[in-house]
Amino acid sequence: MKHHLSEEELTGYALNLLTDADREALDQHLQDCPACHAALEGHARQQARMQAQLQAELAARSPSPRMTFAAIAPAVRRSRRVSRRAGVLEFFRSYGSVIAAAVGVILAAAAVLRNVTWPLLGLQQNASLSLPFAAGIMLGVPAFSHYGQNRLQRPPLPWIWVAAMALWLGTALLGLYEIALLRDVLLRAYLRFGPPSSQLLAQAEALGSWGVFFMGGVWVALVIGGGEYHYHHVGQRASWRLFAWTVLAQLALLTLPLLV
């Protein structure tokens, strides 16, 4: 390495943010370059100074004598009494979330079966919006009841995994149903452009097929990408938030047939 280290490289080195390979590569340069070595030492000194100053400044700050255990003891006692009862309620709430998510999955599967698969097989013609709506609401229960909850504030109980997997599966199934729903919406919207004719119908159906192809691609990407994201963030605030927004978006999409 001939050039001097950049500020980014120096900061990364000083803050211990580099991978072993990157660090080794920079080490070789640092051995031969007194200027970069001095710059790195400057960063190390600056960091040590900041750390010492911050610690000294905060060490000089102490809570006032009013901040005592006696001041919170009544609230702690009261809340703890309530909290014991709340523990039982929480047990039901936790497992209630899993049950709601499972019911959501069943309803979403039923919506796909009744509204997509049966018409394809010629078994049923009239679609029902109540099934997917009910599925969305049931999936919304665990997603919204844990919205904003941090993983460290509660241990990752097995039910969190079960609820997260059920939510992922339920939203994926609902998404599958919504592809068929959006195709119908697209067809109906296009057919409004002119008087009914076989040519217009053929154009609308071609558009619908392209729509299904496009939405199918988006669905696959979202299901795989979302699954990976939730797997890495299970039980975290970010995962609950994404589930909640997904369910909300899906419920909003379900209202489209009412508008078109």
State yes or no: residue 56 binds other proteins (CB under 8 A).
yes
Rounded to a whole number of angstroms, the minimum distance from the CB of residue 145 to other proteins is 16
User: 23, 29, 188, 237: which one contacts other proteins (CB under 8 A)?
Assistant: 237
Q: Are the CB atoms for 29 and 39 separated by under 8 Å?
A: no
Hey, what amino acid is at 57? E
Q: Kindly tell me which residue out of 6, 28, 31, 51 binds other proteins, with binding defined by CB under 8 A.
A: 51
Residue 61 C-beta: closest distance to other proteins, Å: 5
Site for other proteins contains 145 (CB under 8 A): no
Does position 238 bind other proteins by CB under 8 A?
Answer: yes
Binding mask 239-258 for other proteins (x = CB under 8 A): --------------------
Task: Kindly determine how many residues on this chain lie close enough to bind other proteins according to the rule CB under 8 A.
Answer: 45
Nearer to other proteins, 4 or 80 (CB): 80
Tokens 């080490």 correspond to 27
Residue numbers at the binding site for other proteins (CB under 8 A):
7, 11-12, 15, 17, 46-47, 50-51, 53-64, 66-67, 69, 71-73, 75-77, 79-80, 83, 87, 150-156, 232, 236-238
